[in-house]
Amino acid sequence: GSGSREAVERLVREHPVVVFMKGSPAQPLCGFSNAVVQILRLHGVEDYRAHDVLQDPDLRQGIKNYSNWPTIPQVYLNGEFVGGCDILLQMHQNGDLVEELKKLGIRSALLDAEKDQEKK
């Protein structure tokens, strides 16, 4: 089923940025999922795969087994498990997220925002 290790592996590798969340980016159904969406939006990352685990209990359990992480949301960059909301927020605050996105060939919108600040 969709919760098997192979199925989950395929999902985390199908896109450079993959998020397993409750609800959808347009309509997150929990505060933590919403926070992840907002952080990605701040960096201008609109092109990513989001999977709603509420639609699929199999996947919901499968992804927890796969990452060995008990909670949702979960963020994957380049097929690697990064963490949940707290870790993403930390990476956002300390600048690591900009670096990680750069490795994927994604330029964070925050870099351009900082440039604009300097001009003023």
Residues in binding site: 30
Cα-Cα-Cα-Cα dihedral sign, residues 109, 114, 116, 117: positive
Given a contact cutoff of 8 angstroms between Cβ atoms, the answer to whether 19 and 51 are in contact is: yes
Residue that has been written with the tokens 């998020």 in this structure: 19
**First-last CA distance in the chain:** 55
Given a contact cutoff of 8 angstroms between Cβ atoms, the answer to whether 39 and 96 are in contact is: no
Structure token pair of residue 5 = 């290790």
Q: Binding site for [2Fe-2S] cluster: which residues?
A: 30
